Amino acid sequence: MTEKEKMINGIEYQADDKELIRELNEVKDLCWEYNSLRPTLLRERNALLQQILGKADDDTFINQPFFCDYGKHIRVGKRFFANFNLTVLDEAFVTIGDDCFIGPNVSIYTACHSTDPAERNTRREWAKPVNIGHNCWIGGSVTILPGVTIGDNVTIGAGSVVVHDIPADSVAAGNPAKVIKKLNTPKNP
């Protein structure tokens, strides 16, 4: 297996692999280009987002600046909107459903590192995917940690740190984020 295949499959991999570094730098250039475009150049911005992301459409909108590691591991649904300063460390897949809104200064992380300094200094790491359902609102300055799944129809309160799964039809807030309200969301027939 290549280091990239290990990374995508959640297996410990060598993060300083030359091929991975090359891909990271290519996407950094694309993000720089995206963040340098005039905000009014909507078509050009969307075309570049579709080049960066693994799945996006003509309605995908991310306010600049936007930062990510690989880009192709990020898949967003229909009518996706993210406000300023979205940061996604997408060593594993980040999948976001339809009609999701993300506030400013949100960070989504999939990369994991050892807490042991000697191990961490070997540049070995692993990644866990993040999944966000349909119809979610992620408030400003939220941090979502590796391996988290957020269900459909969820609101995450501003400033929260999401360290565990959040069930569908709920509002969660805090550090760590906890469900503070259940919603009576009508189900589609």
Per-residue pLDDT tens listing for the chain (189 residues): 999 999 999 999 999 999 999 999 999 999 999 999 999 999 999 999 999 999 999 999 999 999 999 999 999 999 999 999 999 999 999 999 999 999 999 999 999 999 999 999 999 999 999 999 999 999 999 999 999 999 999 999 999 999 999 999 999 999 999 999 999 876 654
What is the per-residue pLDDT for 28?
A: 98
Residue 188 lies in a domain: no
Question: Is 32 inside any structural domain?
Answer: yes
Query: Catalytic: which of 73, 113, 134, 164?
Result: 113
Q: In 3D, which of 121, 92, 95 has the Cα closest to residue 8?
A: 92
Looking at the domain assignment, is residue 168 inside a domain?
yes
Domain assignment of residue 60, yes or no: yes
Spatial separation of the C-alpha atoms in residues 74 and 34, rounded to whole Å: 16
Residue 189 lies in a domain: no
**Domains contained in the chain, number:** 1
Measured between alpha carbons, how far is 155 from 135 in angstroms, rounded to an integer?
A: 9
Residue 95 counted as domain residue: yes
Q: For the domain that residue 97 is a member of, what is the CATH number? A: 2.160.10.10
Q: Is the pTM of this model over 0.75?
A: yes
43 part of a folded domain: yes
Say how many Å lie between the first and final Cα of the chain, rounded: 44
Would residue 89 count as lying in a domain? yes
Indicate if 113 belongs to the active site.
Answer: yes
Report the alpha-carbon distance of residue 1 to residue 3 in Å, rounded.
7
What residue numbers bound the domain in which 39 lies? Answer: 3-182
